[in-house]
Amino acid sequence: MMNLRLTRRIMLAFFGLGVWCVAVPAQAAPPQQASPDLALSYDGELAPGALGLPGEQASWTLVITNNGNEAVPAVTMTGTLPAELRIERADAAQGSFAINGQAVTFEVGSLGPGASVTAQIVTTVMSSPTTGLLASTATLESAGTTRTAQAEIEVPTTLPATGYPPDEPLETNAWPVVFVGIAAFLTTATVLLAVFWRYAPH
């Protein structure tokens, strides 16, 4: 009889614990805090087959990405190009742009969570840099947030080697030239002397 009562008490205790666990509601997860996270990448490359010589083209690509969980308003990107380049044109997947001197400003506008926008600047090399690098800087601004990135293109400062030794100067002998000059002088003198002798009074 004692064992039966003990068994009932244990069963009631486990039953009550189970009811209590079911009755207590689970705590809700705290709301996720809004956090914008902007990233900027910037790359430059020469046209296929180009070396970076004057007259050849180079393109610069800006990519902005919103890695945060809320939209970012009034996004602006600016690419500043070196004096050795001339800006030909620009393009962007969103918004508008304006060219002012050596800078191109892209007014992207609002950028949603996970969204990205690509912009491109096409330039022409006007003169080769003495440092061997065409360097450009990009700046991103939005709601007090600023990001910067730099892109570089290596260009040769001298013509590439051909693998062949330079041509040796041709050896010249000056004596044939001297002989030709003397012969011409003697011929001219002989002709003048013959003319003078013929027409001179005797």
pLDDT digits (tens, 9 = 90+) for 49-88: 999 999 999 999 999 999 998 999 999 999 999 999 999 9
What pLDDT is attached to residue 193? 78
Task: Please state, in angstroms and rounded to a whole number, the distance separating the CA atoms of residues 39 and 37.
Answer: 7
183 in a structural domain: no
42 in a structural domain: yes
End-to-end CA distance of the chain, in Å? 181
109 in a structural domain: yes
CATH at residue 58: 2.60.40.1530
What pLDDT is attached to residue 164? 62
Number of domains in the chain: 1
Burial of 140 (0-12, 13-18, 19+ CB in 10 A): buried
26 in a structural domain: no
Mean pLDDT, residues 100-123 taken together: 96
Residues of the domain holding 124: 38-154
Mean pLDDT, residues 164-191 taken together: 69
Whether pTM exceeds 0.75: no
Question: Per the structure block, which two tokens stand in for 26?
Answer: 């689970």
170 in a structural domain: no
111 in a structural domain: yes
Mean pLDDT, residues 148-160 taken together: 86
91 in a structural domain: yes
Task: Please state, in angstroms and rounded to a whole number, the distance separating the CA atoms of residues 32 and 69.
Answer: 9
Mean pLDDT, residues 173-196 taken together: 74
pLDDT in tens, 160-176: 566 666 556 555 565 66
Could you give the count of Cα atoms lying within 13 Å of 167 in the half-sphere of its Cβ? 3
The kind and range of the H/E element at 125 are strand 116-125
Q: How far is CA 167 from CA 37, 157, 158, 159, 163, in A?
A: 61, 22, 18, 16, 12
128 in a structural domain: yes
